[in-house]
Amino acid sequence: MKIITYNVNGLRAAINKGFTEWLAQENPDVLCIQETKLQPDQFPAEHFTKLGYYAYLFSAQKKGYSGVAIFAKQKPDHVEIGMGIEKYDQEGRFLRVDYGDISIVSVYHPSGSSGDERQRFKMEWLDDFRKYVLELQKSHPNLILCGDYNICHESIDIHDPVRNAKNSGFLPEEREWMTGFLNMGFIDSFRYKNPGKQQYTWWSYRFNARSNNKGWRIDYCMVNESMKSRISDAYIVNDAEHSDHCPAVLEINNK
């Protein structure tokens, strides 16, 4: 099974940049999208129907903001929209599909870069997300948590760790949260398969950051410990340029 996560920074904008042609070539079994930035009635379904995908969307209440989606070649056994926590669900941040004993999530963690209030919201989210996932794991033992986490974990994951040490996304408390999350039995599949590789999934639109490869690795395909032995490959597709992010890929083996 090939699973891709991709923050498209506006699905319709990405489509105008050749996103669906790229998708046809990559042909993942499951595609997890973040920042759809559209309402259900704005979704251009025909682009995905013709490629053989079932589409599941969870949009934010605020128009043109946030939103997650999952596109799947095979119809899931179950689709769970949201976390049941209103302040997060109104921002369209969590969507899950189940296939047998495997659950795949598209998640969009908040950014704290706009100021102190959103940084506090982000830290609350991180605490609640961890609790939610640990509880979910009791009934859904094989989890794949794909999305934009808006956190670089280690110095290898960011182009300038010294000058970014006080910036949201690389703050000590965010990195500490990530360490704790991984220590609870979750695995960063890219780092597991590529322990020494420095590669990024997001670049600022400013200062020619992408052409100079001054990036951050903030998009992850996380799995829990029970899925570790089924990781076949994990990699980043840097040449996909439909967004300020690029895709991260996880390939898993069937039992």
Owning domain of residue 130: 2-252
- Structure confidence at residue 73 (pLDDT): 98
DSSP assigned state of 67: -
What is the C-alpha to C-alpha distance for residues 34 and 224, in angstroms, rounded to an integer?
21
Give the percent of the chain with pLDDT over 70.
Answer: 100
- Structure confidence at residue 253 (pLDDT): 94
For residue range 17-59, what is the model confidence (pLDDT) as tens digits? 999 999 999 999 999 999 999 999 999 999 999 999 999 999 9
- Structure confidence at residue 180 (pLDDT): 98
CB–CB of 9/243 below 8 Å? yes
Of the residues 41, 98, 127, 148, which is catalytic?
A: 148
- Look up 219 and say whether it is catalytic: no
What is the C-alpha to C-alpha distance for residues 128 and 189, in angstroms, rounded to an integer?
22
- Structure confidence at residue 215 (pLDDT): 98
For residue range 152-200, what is the model confidence (pLDDT) as tens digits? 999 999 999 999 999 999 999 999 999 999 999 999 999 999 999 999 9
Q: What is the pTM of this model?
A: 0.97
For residue range 66-125, what is the model confidence (pLDDT) as tens digits? 999 999 999 999 999 999 999 999 999 999 999 999 999 999 999 999 999 999 999 999
Place of tokens 């829990």: 224
**What CATH number does the domain containing 217 carry?**
3.60.10.10
What is the C-alpha to C-alpha distance for residues 213 and 169, in angstroms, rounded to an integer?
17
Q: How confident is the model at residue 254 (pLDDT cuts 50, 70, 90)?
A: confident
2-23: average pLDDT? 98
Q: Give the up-direction half-sphere exposure of residue 162: CA atoms within 13 A in the CB hemisphere.
A: 0
228-253: average pLDDT? 97
137-164 core/surface letters (b: 16 or more CB in 10 A; e: else): beebebbbbbbbbbbbbeeebbbeeeeb
Q: What residues form DSSP beta bridges with 107?
A: 94, 147
The number of folded domains in the chain is 1
What is the C-alpha to C-alpha distance for residues 165 and 159, in angstroms, rounded to an integer?
11
